[in-house]
Amino acid sequence: MLLRTRYLARELVRFFVFFIGVTAFMLLVMQVFWSLSETVRGNKFPWRDFFIYLHSNILLVTPAITLVSVFFVISELGRFSELEILQIKGINPARVLGVFFSFGLVVSALGFVAGSFPPYPEYRLSSPRADAVSIISPRLTVWAEKTLSDTCLANVLIILRDGDKSSVYQAERAYFSSDGLILTNGTFRVVGEGINKQKEFASERIQAPLDPKSVYEYVSVQMDRVSYFRLRSLLCAIKRIGIFSKKQWIILYQKLSYPLLNFFIIFLSLPFFYARKGLSRFKIFSMTLGFSLVVYFAYAAGIAMGENDYIPWRAAPWTAHFLIVAATLGYLLTMRKSSIIHPVQKENHFNKNP
């Protein structure tokens, strides 16, 4: 059957949707077993937890599902010799690769959008709120024993630094305002070289270089469950008061790099595409499992090395992508050179001696 782009795209989508459905069903079965006792005791299935874990786990395994879908289509092409038919018709088989990589880009975009809109975004999987607050930067330190509301902290210690001089505030309450903080029932000290002043106050307004909403979000939000744009805005606001965490910025870049694995993982199928042979289902699933585990390990290793300064932290989320492309292109170049160095010898029937 003559290969058409529409047919190829339809087959990719068909396999992808099928494996997404199988994965969702398996997760549902596992959730039933995990929450069996809770369901029996409360006569209610925890659908909220199921949808939260389903969302995160589907996004986690999507690169593997993308790869296995491409492998199945490649197997169909090899089994029915459709690439050879294209060459006979004068059509470059590289157009097929364009369909594969376009599919990877579409899945990457959908993964990015899905990651930006998690179900129940305000629901915390651990504690319902952050009680203690601890923010330390070269310019500002904010510590509070308890969070009473989005704009009120209890038993607060605030230190503002200006060169060698530090202004230290201790108060029972701290209320965030649009341009700073209002402290009640506390003490104020100025500490520095030859300076040691102290006074008590019932109410004191200080101009602290911080945004109250950003500070509260910074200490309470689950950063893996907010959108890329919201997290970037939050980290930029916090950075302006001197707070910088490589780990949190790596989490931000992961929201871009991980969905793009759906595009880059297709490079691993190129050697099998050029081999133009049908693949058995056992071989497809075995290769998908093996390649996916290697890719996930490389991705996790890159993140860990970036957090521990073994590699630049900005490059850490992209380590697996670089290794995928380098390994695939290196393998293809090696195979091409081998075919040039050792060409197939053909027998010349016209120069034979009688």
Report yes or no: 24 and 34 within 8 Å, Cβ to Cβ.
no
- C-alpha–C-alpha distance, residues 271 and 262, integer Å: 17
The pLDDT confidence band at residue 109, using thresholds 50, 70 and 90, is very high
Tell me the per-residue pLDDT of 3-13, one tens digit each, with 9 for 90 and over. Answer: 567 888 899 99
Task: Quote the pLDDT of residue 21.
Answer: 93
What is the end-to-end Cα distance of the chain in Å, rounded? 46
Weakest mean pLDDT among 29-33, 104-108, 313-317, 344-348? 344-348
Q: Name which residue leads in pLDDT, 139 or 105.
A: 105
pLDDT of residue 26 exceeding 80: yes
* Domain boundaries, given as residue ranges, for the chain: 5-123+253-340, 133-221
At 82 the pLDDT is 66
Q: What are phi and psi of 176, to 5 degrees?
A: -75, 135
Report how far residue 268's alpha carbon sits from residue 293's, in angstroms, rounded to the nearest whole number. 13
Q: Give the chain's mean pLDDT.
A: 81
Mind listing the pLDDT tens digit for each residue in 200-235? Answer: 888 888 776 666 666 667 766 778 888 899 889 888
The enclosing H or E element of 344 equals: none
- Is 86:99 a contact under the CB 8 Å cutoff? no
Gap between the Cα atoms of 142 and 135, Å rounded:
5
Give pLDDT, residue 53. Answer: 83
CB 70 within 8 A of CB 266: yes
Residue 305 has pLDDT above 80, yes or no: yes
- Rounded to two decimals, the pTM is 0.76
Q: Please state the rounded mean pLDDT for residues 241-253.
A: 85
Q: What are phi and psi of 347, to 5 degrees?
A: -75, 130
Q: What are the two backbone dihedrals, phi and then psi, of residue 161, each rounded to the nearest 5 degrees?
A: -110, 135
Which of 64-68, 76-80, 182-186, 250-254 shows the lowest mean pLDDT across its residues? 76-80
Instruction: Supply the pLDDT for residue 2.
Output: 45
127: pLDDT confidence band, cut at 50, 70 and 90?
very low
DSSP assignment string, 139-160: SEEEEEEEEEETTEEEEEEEEE
Closest CA relative to residue 255, chosen from 225, 233, 235, 234: 225
